[in-house]
Amino acid sequence: MSPLVAVSEWGECAALLADARARGVEGLMLKRRDSLYHAGRVKGDWWKLKVDPLTIDAVLVMAQRGSGKRASLYTDYTFALWHGTDLVPVAKAYSGLSDAEIRQVDKFVRRHTSDQFGPVRRVEPLLVFELGFEAVNASTRHKSGVAVRFPRILRQRTDKTPDQADRVETLKAMIPVEKRELEEPGLFDGLL
């Protein structure tokens, strides 16, 4: 159960929200004391205040067709960061682009496919996107050594070239210190 936190003014909420990430939570949930629990996204009695997402600039490296009404478009994307001279996948994102932006990326994928295996197309690493996410954790399942929580596309970075995208080390540095200490020795050598 989350603790009940009483505040008497909005400034106290702002301070709690600013400290949320350090406490390992996504933000604050404001509820009227007499409100009932309702399924779904009910508005009026409850308000969710989330911290701003962590962000990285990553290169689009793979795409796959979506599902449902987007089954004919490439809408499921894999993004990579630099590790040495290699681009290493770090996240998959499916949301954040408008329909017009999806159509533009779909055209890019079709014109710049460098390899195809099953439903996945590898694309020339030419487009940079800003990704937002809630948290970063070390991961032995991913080649990059990290996993991001709830990744989504915030915008395309037309002002950046692929060589200006972030590095895996930048992402690893976002893992909270207390979680870094629990990881295998050597995972973060040279970062701290």
pLDDT at 4: 80
- The 3-class secondary structure across the chain, one letter per residue, is CCCCCCCCCHHHHHHHHHCCHHHCCCEEEEECCCCCCCCCCCCCCEEEEECCCEEEEEEEEEEEECCHHHCCCEEEEEEEEEECCEEEEEEEECCCCCHHHHHHHHHHHHHCEEEEECCEEEECCCCEEEEEECEEEECCCCCCCEEEECCEEEEECCCCCHHHCCEHHHHHCCCCHHHHCCCCCCCCCCCC
pLDDT at 80: 97
* pTM, to two decimals: 0.80
pLDDT tens track for 103-160: 999 999 999 999 999 999 999 999 999 999 988 988 888 889 999 989 999 999 999 9
pLDDT tens track for 49-87: 888 899 999 999 999 999 998 999 999 999 999 999 999
pLDDT tens track for 91-105: 999 999 999 999 999
CATH of 54-178, one of 3.40.50.880, 2.40.50.140, 3.40.50.80, 1.10.10.60: 2.40.50.140
Mean pLDDT across the chain, nearest whole number? Answer: 87
pLDDT at 191: 41
Residues of the chain with CATH 2.40.50.140: 54-178
